[in-house]
Amino acid sequence: MNLELDFPIWLLCEIAGVSRSSYYKFKNKSLNKNADIEEKIIDIYEKSNKRAGYRTICQTLKFKYNLTVNHKKVLRIMQENNIQSIVRKKYKKPKETTIIKENLLNRNFKASKPGEKFVTDITYIPTQRKMTYLCTVIDLFNNEPVAWNISDSQDKNLSLDTIKALSKKYNLEGSIIHSDQGIHFTNKDYVDLLKELKVKQSMSRKGNCWDNASAESFFSHYKSEAIHIMKKKIKDYNDVKQITEEYMDYYINHRPQKKLGGVPPSMYKQKVS
């Protein structure tokens, strides 16, 4: 017996305790040619604990049921059933405030006395375990590396600790310390430290490596004469530290420089000072 032919729909719905809209939705759904796919999509979604998105569902339909379903159809069915994956929110590191300073050095890489002008920069040294970083400060009076810090972490302490080491060797009041616009040199802690030491902070123009050519030149020599000559990849931080300490001694006390009249930085300082 077909009750729909003998009684009005509204009466049957009232007796069954359902709304007419729910009845028609159910009836239309049963006639839906995608009902089987829709059922599978909902089942995959529920079993994934609501993690699965339309891409994952498409892949699951393929390998589990051998069904190739267009991703647009899967997405539409999900939208019709008001289901969506739990999207993992990506953590965004708070953007550090950067403070840019004027280029006081202006490519004048000559200094009349020790401690008058410094340049600083950071270079990367790959090892078998992880990347290692070297921050160096060079006195432009005799191109001597006067402070450096090696770390296997790229945080701002790399530059801060280098300046603190420098401040133990020099009275930095009135000195110029020049760098590029990297975050190690534009962060508030670094800027405040230089201000506290009464240093005149100078920065290269953005994207202009020639504004810090002296620091770039030193690292070029360091890489070619200490790092690239190694036959095997450097093992770790301790190897970098040993190699760097040996090279700094060689560069300061034994490596002659044409700009210094063919003598190493330490000898030039003794002769001129």
User: pLDDT per position in the chain (273 positions), as tens?
Assistant: 455 556 676 666 777 777 767 766 666 654 455 788 898 899 998 888 888 888 999 999 998 899 999 999 999 989 988 888 876 656 566 667 899 999 999 999 999 999 999 999 999 999 998 999 999 999 999 999 999 999 999 899 999 999 999 999 999 999 999 999 999 999 999 999 999 999 999 999 998 999 999 999 999 999 999 998 887 789 999 999 999 999 999 999 999 999 999 999 999 999 886
Q: What is the pLDDT of residue 87?
A: 66
- For residue 163, what is the domain's CATH number? 3.30.420.10
Domain boundary, last residue among 28, 57, 80: 80
Give me the domain span that covers residue 227. 117-272
- Host H or E run for residue 167: helix 157-167
Whether residue 143 sits in one domain with residue 202: yes
User: How many structural domains compose the chain?
Assistant: 2
Q: What is the pLDDT of residue 121?
A: 98
Give Cβ neighbours of residue 98 (< 8 Å, ≥ 6 apart): 181, 183, 186, 187
* Residue 110 located in a structural domain: no
Position 19, amino acid: S
Instruction: Evaluate if pTM is beyond 0.75.
Output: no
* Residue 237 located in a structural domain: yes
Whether residue 264 sits in one domain with residue 130: yes
Whether residue 260 sits in one domain with residue 125: yes
CA distances from 125 to 84, 115, 130 (A): 45, 28, 9
Whether residue 230 sits in one domain with residue 137: yes
DSSP, residue by residue, 26-80: HHHHHT-TTHHHHHHHHHHHHHTTT---HHHHHHHHHHHH-----HHHHHHHHHH
Token pair 């930085």: residue: 265
